[in-house]
């Protein structure tokens, strides 16, 4: 069938493998942060045993289950806007050298 790849060939599977291997090899008392753009529950589930923080990119206003409300299906952006800011991080990005023309 068109578009049918085996699970192990999909990018989301590669993210899961990287997360599992990173968790298994991290030194004790070292925090692990895993980034990605998968909106799948299995990623959150796999991070739990390693006490891994997840940094997830979200481009769509998909439905989420909001803990304060009994029903599911609330759009993501309003739910996130109500969350407290946990911190700030200033990142310096060096200017790239000028490319020859």
Are 41 and 62 in contact by the 8 Å Cβ rule? The answer is no
pLDDT of residue 38: 55
**Half-sphere exposure for 79 (CA within 13 Å, toward CB):** 15
Instruction: Tell me phi and psi for residue 67, to 5 degrees.
Output: -60, -30
Q: Where is 74: in which H helix or E strand?
A: strand 72-75
**Half-sphere exposure for 10 (CA within 13 Å, toward CB):** 10
Task: Name the residue among 78, 76, 51 with its Cα closest to residue 65.
Answer: 76
Are 37 and 56 in contact by the 8 Å Cβ rule? The answer is yes
pLDDT of residue 70: 47
Question: Which two three-digit tokens encode residue 7?
Answer: 């699970």
The one-digit pLDDT tens for each residue of the chain (101 residues) are 556 777 777 777 887 888 888 888 888 888 888 877 656 677 778 888 878 888 777 778 877 766 655 456 678 788 778 888 888 888 888 888 887 77
pLDDT of residue 35: 77
């Amino acid at each position: 069938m068109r578009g049918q790849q085996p699970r192990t060939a999909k990018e989301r599977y590669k993210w899961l493998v990287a997360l599992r291997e990173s968790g298994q090899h991290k030194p004790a008392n070292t925090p692990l942060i895993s980034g990605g753009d998968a909106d799948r529950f299995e990623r959150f589930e796999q991070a739990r045993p390693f006490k891994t923080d997840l940094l997830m990119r979200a481009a769509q206003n998909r439905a989420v289950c909001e803990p304060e409300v009994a029903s599911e299906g609330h759009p993501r952006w309003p739910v996130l806007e109500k969350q407290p800011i946990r911190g700030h991080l200033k990142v310096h990005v060096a200017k790239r050298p000028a490319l020859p023309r």
